[in-house]
Structure 1
Amino acid sequence: MTALLKLDQLFLLTGAALLIVAWLTCRDHSNPRRWSSGLLWALWAVIYLVGDNLPPVVCGLIVLMLAALGGLGGVSFGKHPAREPAERQASAARLGNKLFLPILAITTLALVGTLTLKDVHVGGLLLVEPKNVTLISVGLGALVGLVGALWMTRERPMQALREARRLLETMGPAVLLPQLLATLGLLFTDAGVGKAVAHLTTSYIPVDNALFAVAAYALGMALFTMVMGNAFAAFPVMTAGIGIPILLGMHHGNPAVMAAIGMFCGYCGTLMTPMAANFNIIPAALLELKDKNAVIRAQWPTALMLLGVNIVLLKVLMF
């Protein structure tokens, strides 16, 4: 059934915003690499705007160009006008804790929308695509949060795009990693990496023992996430290699529990790897920490404890 709100509409908004960021970057003469930086954001925008209509080879070339621009230092930081400290302090004092309301709007609407919008009809049409209700709810929450933030701060929409450009340039090409690594996980699955993992697991680990099988899945999720930098990339590989054939097929485990806690095991790996640049390296850069691995050093003990707890929870709750 046709829906009024589709994920493609959010993609179009994202692509349009990235195009404006690219235009602002190209106009910034203080940026020593303004043309190559603008090109990277423009190419990323193309994927959101017309990616579904492009031949696969063209999309592949765009990804290679993005990697080349980022890897060869084609992206740099421009000049971003900043308010005076006294002005910023006055604004913060005026708004106070109300600054958190736009963020809470995003999370609240994402949760409420996921639980309630799936079966809502308007004039005989579904309000949102059922298969993408969560992502659409997050997008709607972000739009509501944006409107609320602009109203509270009395800023114009263009200021939001300027801030988007500042944050994107601060994070640099690493901001593309989650999207690219998630795609890489699907490529690994199609290439048969999951089958190779299954072969190694059954050959060297006594998977007829449920505890050993659970531990292999949980540790594999964490380790593969550390290599890939993204739990979404590790999940299809480890689930195809161990989760489905062994935990579900051999031991008849609960798939919902396996998926939920399995992803959590992957997140434990995320806390311990520099490959998860957007979680661990970018925050260190934004905070101007001298040690770029300071975030990882602070997180790894917690990550190991959580991983141990997750193994126990998988064993207790899945069977």
Structure 2
Amino acid sequence: MITLDHAYVLLGLMFLAFSILTLRDPEHPTRVRSAVFWALVAASMLFGSWLGGLGNGVLVLALVVVGGLKALGVGRPSTTTLEQRRDSAARRRNSLFIPALIVPLAAVGGTLAAKHTGAGQWLISSTQTTLIALGLGCLLSLFIAMAWLRPPVMAPVQEGRRLMDSIGWAALLPQMLASLGAVFLAADVGGVVGELVTQAVPLTSPLLAVAAYCLGMALFTVIMGNAFAAFPVMTAAIGLPFVVGQFGGNPAIVCAIGMLAGFCGTLMTPMAANFNVVPANLLELPDREAPFNGVIRAQMPTAVIILGVNIALMYFLAFRF
């Protein structure tokens, strides 16, 4: 049976390959330090379950030290030439998006198949089914792209290394911030936030509770840079005790739309560096000035509109289904 542990092993092997290829790249500007960084990431994926809390904590501190000393360099791996890529793009045009579309289709299809058929009982673990299906979708997309495009055998790993080098330590920012959310939950930050909110805004109606929860998710995401970090705090503070407990909202609808409200905050903050800062730098956009670059300013109107829609959806759906 395929479990989430298999996905972690696959990711660990990928980062281990990045580390080895970086170490063997004589033109890499920070060859040794970058290789150590990706090797530490690989170790966390491969051996995290056996290292325990202390071991993983030491590993994270080592990652912070190695990544924080100086910016990780960017390698220039040789895969296909610029002319080959331009020729392929000109010939295949929008059909090049097919491998990318396979990933979400496989994730949704695999999740539904595991839930409504017997596949979940013998093929895919019933725990974290969506993440497992997502991993299988990535593998399926990779095999189809390799068979269709026929790039050099090492092209996926080398291009993956180049992309990780370009993103650097920010690639680990979502995991770090999600861990911070778990720490806040364990420290009962949600309870403290809930008390402060109720003192400032009496949650005397479902609409006020829904608005406070969604706005709180967006605001806390702006502060922390990650909706996964904000979710346990705001859900413990407002979502569960008020929207669900006091007014009887459907917990599945409340939590799903609450997370979407948090994603609205992601669109408006430079703290979400992996979404709003790194892509702007990778694409070398003209307006990259901190804290609110052109990407964030362009996203803000859409984020505000979607946040309002999420508040309305939660109010009209959570108490009726």
Same fold per superposition (TM over 0.5) = yes
How many angstroms apart in 2 are the aligned matches of 1:142 and 1:273? 29
User: Paired residue for 2:35?
Assistant: 38
How many angstroms apart in 2 are the aligned matches of 1:101 and 1:135? 20
Instruction: Tell me which of 208, 211, 226 is aligned to 1:212.
Output: 208
Secondary structure at 1:55 match in 2: helix
The Cα offsets for residues 210-242 of structure 1, whole Å up to 9 and x where unpaired, read as 222111111110011111111111111100011
How many angstroms apart in 2 are the aligned matches of 1:211 and 1:197? 19
How many angstroms apart in 1 are the aligned matches of 2:127 and 2:137? 18
How many angstroms apart in 1 are the aligned matches of 2:202 and 2:210? 11
Letter of the 1:52 counterpart: S
User: Paired residue for 1:257?
Assistant: 253
How many angstroms apart in 2 are the aligned matches of 1:289 and 1:97? 23
Indicate whether 1:291 and 2:287 are aligned: yes
Indicate whether 1:148 and 2:144 are aligned: yes
How many angstroms apart in 1 are the aligned matches of 2:313 and 2:182? 27
Would the aligned equivalents of 2:12 and 2:42 in 1 still touch at CA under 8 Å? yes
Would the aligned equivalents of 2:79 and 2:155 in 1 still touch at CA under 8 Å? no
User: Paired residue for 2:163?
Assistant: 167
Report the Cα offset of residue 6 of structure 1: 0.9
Letter of the 1:313 counterpart: L
User: Paired residue for 2:309?
Assistant: 309
User: Paired residue for 1:244?
Assistant: 240
| Greater mean alpha carbon deviation, residues 38-47 or residues 281-290 | 281-290
Would the aligned equivalents of 2:79 and 2:158 in 1 still touch at CA under 8 Å? no
Letter of the 2:126 counterpart: P
User: Paired residue for 1:29?
Assistant: 26
User: Paired residue for 1:222?
Assistant: 218
Report the Cα offset of residue 298 of structure 1: 0.7
Gaps of 5+ in 1: none
Report the Cα offset of residue 82 of structure 1: 6.4
Indicate whether 1:87 and 2:54 are aligned: no
Report the Cα offset of residue 179 of structure 1: 1.2
Letter of the 1:62 counterpart: L
How many angstroms apart in 1 are the aligned matches of 2:248 and 2:114? 32
| Greater mean alpha carbon deviation, residues 29-38 or residues 158-167 | 29-38
Indicate whether 1:279 and 2:275 are aligned: yes
User: Paired residue for 1:57?
Assistant: 54
Instruction: Tell me which of 4, 7, 15 is aligned to 2:4.
Output: 7
Report the Cα offset of residue 125 of structure 1: 5.5
Secondary structure at 1:131 match in 2: coil
| Greater mean alpha carbon deviation, residues 154-163 or residues 19-28 | 154-163
How many angstroms apart in 1 are the aligned matches of 2:133 and 2:84? 35
| Greater mean alpha carbon deviation, residues 99-108 or residues 113-122 | 113-122
Letter of the 1:153 counterpart: L
TM-score by length of 1: 0.94
Indicate whether 1:233 and 2:232 are aligned: no
Residue 9 to residue 103, structure 1, CA distance change in 2 (3 Å): same
How many angstroms apart in 2 are the aligned matches of 1:156 and 1:6? 30
Letter of the 1:20 counterpart: A
Report the Cα offset of residue 66 of structure 1: 1.3
**Would you say how many aligned residue pairs link Structure 1 and Structure 2?**
315
Would the aligned equivalents of 1:75 and 1:172 in 2 still touch at CA under 8 Å? yes
User: Paired residue for 1:199?
Assistant: 195
Letter of the 1:99 counterpart: L
RMSD: 1.7
Secondary structure at 1:5 match in 2: coil
Would the aligned equivalents of 2:79 and 2:159 in 1 still touch at CA under 8 Å? no
Report the Cα offset of residue 161 of structure 1: 0.3
Report the Cα offset of residue 72 of structure 1: 2.4
Percentage of identical aligned residues: 49
The Cα offsets for residues 162-201 of structure 1, whole Å up to 9 and x where unpaired, read as 0000000111110101111111111110011011011112
Letter of the 1:39 counterpart: V
Report the Cα offset of residue 119 of structure 1: 5.9
How many angstroms apart in 2 are the aligned matches of 1:312 and 1:93? 44
